[in-house]
Chain A
Amino acid sequence: MSYPTDRKYTKEHEWITPDGTMGITHYAQESLGDIVFVDLPKLGAELTQAKSMGTVESVKAVSDVYAPASGTVTAVNGELATAPEKVNKDAHGAWMVKIKIKDPGELNRLLSAADYEKFVSEEAGH
């Protein structure tokens, strides 16, 4: 799997583009298995970097989604409420929310595509 270079990644397996679109990574969806439920913040919600902003559930497990950056939610992908399996099919296309990024400097703390790929290959190797 090659990870798109137009965005940044967290060690908790979220991605975010410079314009504030975010979702979870291919590695995350693969680890979770069949995704059956996505719970996302409401429009206008204030997110804080690295704090829980929602949950993704597979048949077996519940996982928190952490905000990759602080900001205000400007759009929510409502399609995922009825078709959560889209995250399995195309994790890097199935965005979850768009936020107005508060401090673009926060993105500097995140991983590049190459560093994230290295990170997950090490994690998977355990």
Chain B
Amino acid sequence: MAIVEAPPPIVRKTALNAVHRQMGAKMVEFNGWDMPVEYPACGGIIAEHMAVRTGVGIFDVSHMGDIRLAGPEALAAVQHISMNDASRLAIGQAQYSALLYPQGTFVDDIIVHRLGEDEYLLVINAGTREKDFKWVSENTHLFNCKVEHLSDDFTQIAIQGPKGVNLLQKLTDADLAAVKFYWLTRGTVCGLKNILIARTGYTAEDGFEIYIPADETTSARVWNSVLEAGKEFGVVPCGLGARNTLRLEGKLPLYGHEISDTINVWEAGLDRWCKVEKPEFMGRAALEKARAEGVKKTLVGLEMVERGIARDGYKVLDAGGREIGYVTSGSPAPFLKKNIALAYVPPEHAAIGATVKVEIRGQGVKAQVVPTPFYKRPKKI
């Protein structure tokens, strides 16, 4: 009998990998990608987080995936596989959405961009790229549209923070003031024509994501130009560490933590983006049934009252010490200067102000259910 050995895991690199290393980034493996977690020479996670809240920070998010659907039935295909209502999108508009299994749980959460009359771009997570593409292909083959996996075509750079608009405007002819949050445009960026510029991000802050050709030379040139143009605004390169604390303060879900193939839309509290009034979409029937039955667990925000930091996977206990739930993401919040967490608990423990405990190294440490998002950016005007 032949013994088949599993191939060694291949760690993938973005086109900016060498640039991160030159900048002294601390690299980690994340979902099969060799990515910067922080840039100690530029101040580290806390400084990076604060730069995005108060100025501007830039992220290499090329590990994110992209799927394009184009053709006469592209809208119908997108409507079938996603929970938000893509028929409401104007050309140049984007929306948060999710791909669901028939049981109403998550394949992935996505951003749907309407690029043209019959053209949509789904931006998907790094760790679910192959699964998502397979899922989208298999579930749209009855529609008259072409499905392409474009993940390796783009270097995606996120320019995030209140000064992001000022920074990017120096490098493009596109009128960024005319692009509203969750809208997109095309323009020349650093001399590259017809670049997709979306006013989106994963930091709970204003910002842009640009999609440039994935070759190393172009990627490095644009990255360095953005850093150079951002000097006057105190731009800082940011890693996955700050990306995580920023999204946590804004209660933006992370696949495998707040959402997964065992958690449904109602439990995750993503009702706002799930349009059950749409005629049909995958997962809808199960979700209507689940809604009628009521949820057994619900996602809440916790703030530590006693000294301690809740971490992913820690148990949540009731006042008597009985296990009632678990932490999905927990961390110190650098901008709020509190220790915060997201956790699943039964609805009877989910009221704002309710006291629970988080088990930290065998000790029940007091925490309180608080309103979410923990952080909301100040609205202009």
**A interface list, Cβ under 8 A from B:** 30, 33-34, 36-37, 55, 57-60, 62, 81
Contacts and interface: CB of A to CB of B under 8 A. Distances in A.
Given A33-B26, A34-B46, A59 B245 contact: yes
Given A33-B26, A33-B45, A34-B46, A59 B332 contact: yes
A58 B334 CA distance: 11
A21 B99 CA distance: 56
Contacts of B309: 36-37, 57, 62
Interface string B24-41: 001000000000011010
B38 A33 contact: yes
B44 A34 contact: yes
B311 A62 contact: yes
Interface of B: 26, 37-38, 40, 44-46, 241, 244-245, 307-309, 311, 331-332, 334, 361
Given A33-B26, A36-B309, A36-B332, A60 B37 contact: yes
A32 to B, nearest CB: 10
Contacts of B40: 30, 33
A37 B26 contact: no
Contact of A60 (B241, B307, B308, B361): B241
B254 to A, nearest CB: 14
A81 B46 CA distance: 18
30 contacts: A30-B40, A33-B26, A33-B38, A33-B40, A33-B44, A33-B45, A33-B241, A34-B44, A34-B45, A34-B46, A36-B309, A36-B332, A37-B307, A37-B308, A37-B332, A55-B361, A57-B309, A57-B332, A59-B45, A59-B46, A59-B241, A59-B331, A59-B332, A59-B334, A60-B37, A60-B45, A60-B331, A62-B309, A62-B311, A81-B307
Tell me if B's interface is mostly helix, strand, loop or mixed: mixed
Contacts of A37: 307-309, 332
Contacts of B308: 37
A36 B37 CA distance: 17
- What 3 A-B pairs come out closest when comparing CB atoms? A59-B45, A36-B332, A34-B46
Given A37-B307, A60-B37, 15 more contacts: A33-B26, A33-B38, A33-B45, A36-B332, A37-B309, A37-B332, A55-B361, A57-B309, A57-B332, A59-B46, A59-B245, A59-B332, A60-B331, A62-B309, A62-B311
Nearest to A81: B307
A55 B361 CA distance: 10
A55 B245 CA distance: 21
A34 B331 CA distance: 13
A33 B245 CA distance: 14
A10 B226 CA distance: 44
Contacts of B37: 60
A57 B334 CA distance: 14
A81 B361 CA distance: 17
A13 to B, nearest CB: 16
B70 to A, nearest CB: 40
Contacts of B38: 33
Nearest to A30: B40
Contacts of B332: 36-37, 57, 59
Contacts of A34: 44-46
A28 B334 CA distance: 21
Nearest to B361: A55
A66 to B, nearest CB: 15
